[in-house]
Structure 1
């Protein structure tokens, strides 16, 4: 089953912190929005709502992981 990769599901221990940082920290908000945008694009491709090459899909997945790693590091530092 194809699903979206929500940060609060992947990082349940940071659920409250994610919400607080989205509201109070512009840098985190931008990271979160970038991750959400990438995740949405990937979801659309995986569900055949939007055509794309395998290379495009793989590049988007790599970028999503990069942003997710940055978010995780930010959550641990703040």
Structure 2
């Protein structure tokens, strides 16, 4: 997720517990979606869509936290 902010993400995962939880949940959903897409798991299309929407919301939230961090640290 957002590889261009890798350094900031590393810092935020240590400094901000909420960001760490958002990041971890995003990665869990990413793996589950990948498992479904590859056929290792099965979900109904509506369930898969719900997971994808949650993942996108988490990415948006993580991005907002990254922007706040950049602003606070004049990056």
Same fold, TM-score > 0.5, yes or no = yes
Match status 1:31 vs 2:15: no
Q: CA deviation at 1:15?
A: 1.0
Gapped regions of structure 2 (runs ≥ 5): 70-75
Normalised to the residue count of structure 1, the TM-score between the two structures is 0.82
Segment of structure 1 superposing worse, 61-70 or 24-33: 24-33
Normalised to the residue count of structure 2, the TM-score between the two structures is 0.85
CA RMSD of aligned residues (A): 0.9
Give the length in aligned residue pairs. 69
Q: CA deviation at 1:25?
A: 1.6
Point out which structure has higher relative CO (alpha carbons under 8 A, 6+ apart): 2
